Amino acid sequence: MRQFARPRFGASRVLHSRARVPHGGHATSRVALVVVALGVACLGLTSTGAVAASTTTTSSTLPPATVLAGNAYTRHFLDAQPIPPEARRVTTLPTPLPANGDVGGSPLVRADHHLYLLPMSVSVDAYVRAHLLKGEKVTETGSGSSPNAYPTYNMGVSVTCVSPHITFCGIYYQTTEAKNGEQELRVDAQVIYLPILHVKMPTDGVVRVTGYGLASAMNGSSDPTSVVLSRHQALTLRTVISRMQNLGSPGLCMESSLLLKINIIKHGKVIWSATADDCPGALAITSATSSPILDARWCPFWHVVGTFFHSGVATATKSDNDCADSQYS
């Protein structure tokens, strides 16, 4: 059983349920860029009005244009989330609630939050579940506590963010009772919004792809099958890799298995290579000029890879990638 761990931050809490959501070409909250205007339009985002100055994070480790675009996307993304009509936006809470989310401590993360006060009689959980946006799903709930404070209740929402720039996005609701008898609500948004790399796999050599019949974190990958791609197959693989996202912050996995190797050989030497694993789902590339890491949880990539192998071989490669399709088994 694979365990995927992202650094959490916020109040100490116990998760009651959590689900990993397979990728189907878009970023979801597992813990992975149409222009911002298009991304906002596709989500149907609307503004709830500004009460406080933006708290969106900034970073000097990304191009300024990427940071600005990511910050704008995150603000609109947060504004679009369902909030009970009884809630009123505030700049501070009587009992401050800490930041909440699945990823933290990385300069790649764009983050923003809103604060609200509302009557204790309002169920934030029930309202959000009844008004989730298209493509959203509650994937975790939990509770937490800290000394001399009321318990906190948390809910994480898995989101489909339609943008090739985005490898991760998530929404997190956190509530607790305020000292004045009202209910506090903090809503956090997290987005990993990165430049598009457009990695170009060379095709001026022998392109050899190796899949595995068995993949185990304990015993390694075994029963390999290697195929040499035709010119058409190599160009198809090159195209799908060029469309893959930068993984950015891959996270940590307690267990991981090798699913795929790609070697490009010219004059008897490997000039370009890549390996893909099942967790965190990374395509790690090695070339003479760079070593990017792409998000290998993109299903079109695995669908292309699946066509390279005959039925009955490379079964782990075709079935352990979260994008298994019966036509490739």
Higher-pLDDT residue of 7, 216:
216
Lowest mean pLDDT among 108-112, 223-227, 320-324: 320-324
> 33-68 pLDDT, tens per residue?
223 333 333 344 433 333 444 444 444 468 899 899
Whether 192 contacts 214, CB under 8 Å: no
Three-class DSSP category at 73: helix
User: Which DSSP letter does residue 261 get?
Assistant: E
Three-class DSSP category at 199: coil
pLDDT higher than 70, residue 89: yes
Higher-pLDDT residue of 165, 156:
156
Q: What's the pLDDT score for residue 53?
A: 42
Whether 306 contacts 325, CB under 8 Å: yes
What is the average pLDDT across 83-105? 91
Per-residue pLDDT band at 196 (split at 50, 70, 90): confident
What is the rounded average pLDDT for all residues in the chain? 80
> 163-172 pLDDT, tens per residue?
878 878 999 9
Q: What's the pLDDT score for residue 102?
A: 86
Q: What's the pLDDT score for residue 13?
A: 40
> 96-136 pLDDT, tens per residue?
999 999 887 678 899 999 999 999 999 999 999 999 999 89
Hey, how many other C-beta atoms are within 10 angstroms of the C-beta on 182? 17
Per-residue pLDDT band at 240 (split at 50, 70, 90): very high
Residue with tokens 């694993």: 277
* E strand residue ranges, the chain: 4-5, 13-18, 88-90, 109-118, 137-144, 152-158, 166-177, 183-193, 206-216, 220-228, 252-253, 258-266, 269-277, 282-287, 293-295
Q: What's the pLDDT score for residue 289?
A: 86
DSSP string, 113-166: EEEEEE-TT--HHHHHHHTPPTT-EEEEEEEE--TTS--EEEEEEE--B--TTE
Q: What's the pLDDT score for residue 20?
A: 34
Of 204, 225, 195, whose CA–CA distance to 292 is shortest?
195
Higher-pLDDT residue of 290, 302:
302
pLDDT higher than 70, residue 16: no
What is the average pLDDT across 175-183? 91
Q: What's the pLDDT score for residue 107?
A: 82
Whether 240 contacts 323, CB under 8 Å: no
Higher-pLDDT residue of 305, 52:
305
pLDDT higher than 80, residue 156: yes
Q: What's the pLDDT score for residue 173?
A: 98
Whether the bond between 280 and the residue before it is cis, its omega within 30 degrees of 0, is yes
Percentage of the residues of the chain whose pLDDT score is greater than 70: 78
Q: What is the value of pTM for the model shown? A: 0.63
Q: What's the pLDDT score for residue 194?
A: 84
The residue type found at 54 is S
Q: What's the pLDDT score for residue 220?
A: 83
Q: What's the pLDDT score for residue 251?
A: 59
Lowest mean pLDDT among 70-84, 162-176, 264-278: 162-176
SS3 content of the chain, % helix, strand, coil (to 5): 20, 35, 50
Higher-pLDDT residue of 141, 180:
141
Q: What's the pLDDT score for residue 249?
A: 56
Distances (CA, A) of 217 to 13, 59, 277: 29, 35, 10
Q: What's the pLDDT score for residue 250?
A: 55
> ∠ at Cα 115 (14, 88), nearest 5°?
125
User: Which DSSP letter does residue 44 get?
Assistant: T
What is the average pLDDT across 195-223? 89
